[in-house]
Amino acid sequence: MKFVFATHNDHKLKEVQQLLPKSIELLSLSDIGCVDEIPEIGETLEENARIKADFVSKTYGFDCFSDDTGLLVDALNGNPGVYSARYAGEQKNAEDNMAKLLSELEGVNDRKAHFKTVICLNVAGASHFFEGRVDGQITTRKFGKEGFGYDPIFMPDGHHKTFGELPGEIKNAMSHRGRAIQKLVEFLKNKLT
Could you confirm whether 67 is annotated as catalytic?
no
| Catalytic residue (choose from 68, 96, 110, 135) | 68
SS (H, E, C) 103-134: HHCCCCCCCEEEEEEEEEEEECCEEEEEEEEE
Residue 24 banded pLDDT, cuts 50, 70, 90: confident
- Supply the pTM of this predicted model: 0.90
What's residue 10's pLDDT?
82
Is residue 69 within 8 A of residue 97, CB to CB? The reply is no
Is residue 131 within 8 A of residue 117, CB to CB? The reply is yes
Per residue in 82-122, pLDDT (tens digit) is 999 999 998 889 999 999 999 999 999 999 999 999 999 99
What is the DSSP code string of 144-178?
Answer: -SSSSTTGGGEEETT-SS-TTTS-HHHHHHHSHHH
Domains and CATH numbers, the chain: 2-192 (3.90.950.10)
Element (H, E) at 45: helix 45-60
- For the cut 70, the answer to whether the pLDDT of residue 193 exceeds it is no
